[in-house]
Amino acid sequence: MPKVTIDEQTLEVEAGSTVLQGARRLGIDIPTFCYLKRLPPLASCRMCLVEIEGQRKLQPSCATAVTDGMVVRTNTPLIDETRSSMLDMLLANHPLDCPICDKGGECELQDMVMAYGPRRSEFHDPKRVFHSRDIRLSPVIIMNVNRCIQCQRCVRMCEEVVGAVALGTVEKGMDTAVTGFEGSLASCDQCGNCVEVCPVGALMSFPYRYKARPWDLAETDTICPHCGTGCQLTVGARKGEFMRVRSKQEHGVNRETLCVRGRFGLDFIESRDRIKRPMIRRDGVLVPVSWDEAGDYLRRRLSTVTNKAAGGLASPRLPNEVLYQFQKLMRTVFRTNDIDCSSRWSMPFDTLGPLLTAFYSRAPLDEVIGNNCVLVVGGNVTEENPVTEYLLRDGARRRQTGLLMLSARPSRLDADARVVVRVPPGGEAVSIAAVVAGLVAAAGEALSGDALATIEAKIGRPVVNAGGDGPARLAAALKDAHSVTVLVSVDLLRSPEARATLQQLNNLLQVLRLLDKGLAIQFLFDRANQMGAWDMGVLPAALPGLRAVADGAVRTALARNWGAEIPSEPGADLDAMLDLCVGGRMGALYIAGTDPLISYPDRAFVQRALGATDLLIVQDAFLTDTAGLAEVVLPAAGYGEESGTFTNNEGRTQKVRKFREPAFEARGNLAIFDFVAALRNQALRPSTQGEIFDEIARLVPAYQGLTQDGLGADGAFTKAVPTPPAGEFFAPPPALKETGRLMLITGDGLFHNGYLSERSEILNTVANDPYVAMSAQDTAQLGLSDGEQVIVRSAQGELTAQLKVDRRFPKGLVFVPENYRALRLNSLMRRGEYPCPVEVQKVHAALEVDRTSRIWRGV
């Protein structure tokens, strides 16, 4: 390792380290503008110039690799003068309009001038003025070109990290300006990472514009509520009023980046459909009542339904403590294991459980992406987990990670992938089976005769080339890798084929393990605390710690700790609960923080089921569609109104912090559980968030040893408790039937991923209209053209939306994003049928709705 001496201090650094990195490790401050930690150096701002012994000129420390014995000085008069001179030049044409600049008080240029700048300027000539007005690049991004110092962080962030390539640089020299195509960013991701990295007030957040001075904001570091990536962010509020989100810290999985949902989608907390007071249904309508009245009513009603089943459904967006307490409430007070944590699907836990316990790697994404090959299965990671996608792109572009994509939906990441396998809608299981077969065939000698015999006994002679040469190429890449990470999109779980897909994934992982590959698997959840929800045992067949309900020892231990019996039979999952409802056998159904009426893929059915439930209790912050059907509605704290922890896709547990009190008469979820338990004359102990966390850390194996204080800036990792895989192989699924029909699949789009994003006014503005995406081939055949309104019709219903022709789409695939409320997408779907066969046709011209008011056109 080379040694370098910087300002008389000597340090050993890793080969290839730069002088800047070395200096920062020594705590020596070297000013920078153009430097972006995650990207190769640009070395254009020249702020970081240092003296290196033996070099004629000053050298940019950001781009100079340390060589052994190098002697560097960063504190000489020449360097002081040079830094001051660079700042002097930057200020010459800078408007110096700090008093009205949103960046004032947190501007890097301001800070740098204070620290290193000239005390006065000799510049007396007229300043350059590009534009007298700021340019509204998009609904959320506004640009003041005059303030730009050309560090290019924004453009590089957009192109190299986010991959959107929406921002660019036009003109040259002094006329250089950062902007979007023809001055607009209307079609960008709106992630605002460009705004975040802008050191000055050039790129600014429009929603935050002129709203506050940074020093008036109370800032709270917390975790994004939107998807399972679990990005860290900082909420700025003024007197409890939400102002903005920043991601200014290099912490967590996201290290300063966010996606549009995280950065601009938190205004849902100000949504107008907050439930203000408890409500009970009287004469068919919900009427507000006091907590006491609601309690009396509920006590009475609960006692009338004890002869029937009880069930609980909680949102995987609630904190661990709330989820843990919810299952405890259901199990010990309602005495049922009929609980689930998804309003969209029921997962085959018998298959998933062993896969999770045997293979799930609770490790930083950054680390698992460093593996040789990363196989991304299903979904569209670009839109579902954008920040995860940034890291994957980084792996492919800068760390030689071989990306292998296998999905029905194309994504932007495909462009950086080594192999892309486009599977027909619903064809994941078949394709993975083909990959397994290809891998077994390619592995040859590498698999022992015994292993080969076991595999062949189950999966038969490998049929290579089933489904084109994609699976074979993918298998070849896997064979050559020494370590493999598999990232699985949860959209696989929504299909009736979920079990088969998971079985094939299991086969794949087992073969890879037999081949001695370094292995990691993680899910790409689209809900912030799905991992936590599973870990907390909000599952009919699993207790906290993903341990089977059937396991008597575990049950007994938990029961002892909880001071109450736990029913011994595995309970009903969401599907089974709905069946109970429809059959008139469900007494009380307790739904916390989730809205099946909007998200369960069969609206008509779920409506019937909920309607046939004796007592529907909904506890939520928002008056959801489901709450609209409830008999008792309990107003709960929303995001930001209660503290707790989330466990993200990586298995990283992080603190979600409260930044204001529950609005109106809402109460914390934990307090409401206490309230309900008390109605049944029971008490849930412990009952505060901190104590519950400690209990989790005591009783849930993966969380053992975690402490609240230990959840530092980067959170803390839960630890996998690996159980050896069962070694079981599953038979391949039957080949996919060619229906020749258009098949609808649904999923998250970039701007919406659930009932929170739906309530964000900003996201609704940037998201424009809902759309239907289809291949160029299909649309040409149907005589449809890009941008026109089309009708998508299934056996159950129909919807109208704008057509987006996507050249990358495979034939036969129709995609409609979820959570565009107006669409009621789930009314097209029929239970158990996914992907859903549809027809697509033109809307009669006369019927075309006037959409103009909803499309953002810039100014």
Backbone φ and ψ for 519, nearest 5 degrees, come out as -125, 140
Could you give the CA distance from residue 140 to residue 186 in angstroms, rounded to a whole number? 10
What is the amino acid identity at position 754? G
Nearer to other proteins, 89 or 548 (CB): 89
Q: Considering CB distances under 5 to 8 angstroms, the limit depending on partner class, which of ligand FES, other proteins, none binds residue 32?
A: ligand FES
Nearer to ligand FES, 67 or 707 (CB): 67
Give the 3-state DSSP-derived string for 361-422, with helices as H, strands as E and coil as C: CCCCHHHHHCCCEEEEECCCHHHHCHHHHHHHHHHHHHCCCEEEEEECCCCHHHHHCCEEEE
Q: Considering CB distances under 5 to 8 angstroms, the limit depending on partner class, which of ligand FES, other proteins, none binds residue 122?
A: other proteins
Q: Considering CB distances under 5 to 8 angstroms, the limit depending on partner class, which of other proteins, ligand FES, none binds residue 765?
A: none
Contacts of 747 by beta carbon, 8 Å cutoff, 6+ apart: 379, 380, 383, 384, 409, 491, 815, 817, 818
Could you give the CA distance from residue 718 to residue 720 in angstroms, rounded to a whole number? 7
Least CB distance to other proteins at residue 238 (A): 35
# residues contacting other proteins (CB under 8 A): 44
Could you give the CA distance from residue 558 to residue 543 in angstroms, rounded to a whole number? 9
Task: Pick the piece of the chain touching other proteins (CB under 8 A) from 49-57, 278-286, 290-298, 551-559.
Answer: 49-57
Least CB distance to ligand FES at residue 440 (A): 51
Least CB distance to other proteins at residue 60 (A): 8
Backbone φ and ψ for 617, nearest 5 degrees, come out as -110, 125
Q: Considering CB distances under 5 to 8 angstroms, the limit depending on partner class, which of other proteins, ligand FES, none binds residue 48?
A: ligand FES
# residues contacting ligand FES (CB under 6 A): 12
Nearer to other proteins, 174 or 285 (CB): 174
Could you give the CA distance from residue 130 to residue 134 in angstroms, rounded to a whole number? 10
- Residue found by looking up tokens 């209209």 in the block: 769
Q: Cis before residue 686, ω within 30 degrees of 0? A: yes
Site for ligand FES in 46-75 (CB under 6 A): 46-48, 60, 62
Site string for other proteins, 89-128 (x = CB under 8 A): xx-xx----------------------------xx-xx-x
Least CB distance to other proteins at residue 263 (A): 21
Nearer to ligand FES, 34 or 543 (CB): 34
Contacts of 617 by beta carbon, 8 Å cutoff, 6+ apart: 298, 588, 589, 590, 591, 630, 631, 632, 633, 634, 676
Q: Considering CB distances under 5 to 8 angstroms, the limit depending on partner class, which of ligand FES, other proteins, none binds residue 489?
A: none
The closest of 209, 372, 328, 359 to 721, measured between CA atoms, is 359
Nearer to other proteins, 123 or 856 (CB): 123
Site for other proteins in 158-197 (CB under 8 A): 165-176, 180-182
Neighbours of 383 (CB within 10 A): 22
By CB under 6 A, is residue 32 in contact with ligand FES? yes
Q: Considering CB distances under 5 to 8 angstroms, the limit depending on partner class, which of other proteins, ligand FES, none binds residue 175?
A: other proteins
Least CB distance to ligand FES at residue 160 (A): 16
By CB under 6 A, is residue 341 in contact with ligand FES? no
Q: Considering CB distances under 5 to 8 angstroms, the limit depending on partner class, which of other proteins, ligand FES, none binds residue 739?
A: none
By CB under 6 A, is residue 34 in contact with ligand FES? yes
Q: Considering CB distances under 5 to 8 angstroms, the limit depending on partner class, which of ligand FES, other proteins, none binds residue 483?
A: none
By CB under 6 A, is residue 19 in contact with ligand FES? no
Could you give the CA distance from residue 367 to residue 125 in angstroms, rounded to a whole number? 53
Binding residue (CB under 6 A) for ligand FES from 13, 23, 43, 194: 43
By CB under 8 A, is residue 45 in contact with other proteins? yes
Least CB distance to other proteins at residue 271 (A): 34
The closest of 485, 439, 433, 493 to 730, measured between CA atoms, is 433
Sheet with 586-592: strands ordered across? 285-288, 279-282, 632-635, 615-620, 586-592, 309-314, 339-340
In sequence order, the β-bridge partners of residue 646 are 654
Q: Considering CB distances under 5 to 8 angstroms, the limit depending on partner class, which of other proteins, ligand FES, none binds residue 180?
A: other proteins
Binding residue (CB under 8 A) for other proteins from 6, 28, 39, 49: 49
**Can you give the C-alpha Rg of the chain in angstroms?**
28
Task: Pick the piece of the chain touching other proteins (CB under 8 A) from 79-87, 239-247, 487-495, 621-629.
Answer: 79-87
Q: What is the largest CA-CA distance in the chain?
A: 89
Could you give the CA distance from residue 378 to residue 423 in angstroms, rounded to a whole number? 9
Q: Considering CB distances under 5 to 8 angstroms, the limit depending on partner class, which of other proteins, ligand FES, none binds residue 797?
A: none
Distances (CA, A) of 261 to 230, 264, 394, 517, 657: 12, 6, 21, 36, 18
| DSSP sequence for 21-47 | HHHHHTT-----SS--TTS-----S-T
What is the amino acid identity at position 630? A
By CB under 6 A, is residue 33 in contact with ligand FES? yes
Least CB distance to other proteins at residue 857 (A): 15
Site for ligand FES in 284-313 (CB under 6 A): none
What is residue 325's DSSP assignment? Answer: H
Confirm if 18 and 6 have CB atoms less than 8 A apart. Answer: no
**What SS3 class is residue 697?**
helix
Q: Considering CB distances under 5 to 8 angstroms, the limit depending on partner class, which of ligand FES, other proteins, none binds residue 506?
A: none
By CB under 8 A, is residue 44 in contact with other proteins? yes
What is the amino acid identity at position 36? L
Nearer to ligand FES, 152 or 190 (CB): 152
Binding residue (CB under 8 A) for other proteins from 20, 43, 286, 813: 43
Q: Considering CB distances under 5 to 8 angstroms, the limit depending on partner class, which of ligand FES, other proteins, none binds residue 516?
A: none
Please report, as ranges, the residues that interact with other proteins according to CB under 8 A.
Answer: 40-47, 49, 56-58, 63, 81-82, 85-86, 88-90, 92-93, 122-123, 125-126, 128, 149-150, 165-176, 180-182
Q: Given the rule CB under 6 A, which residues bind ligand FES?
A: 32-35, 43-48, 60, 62
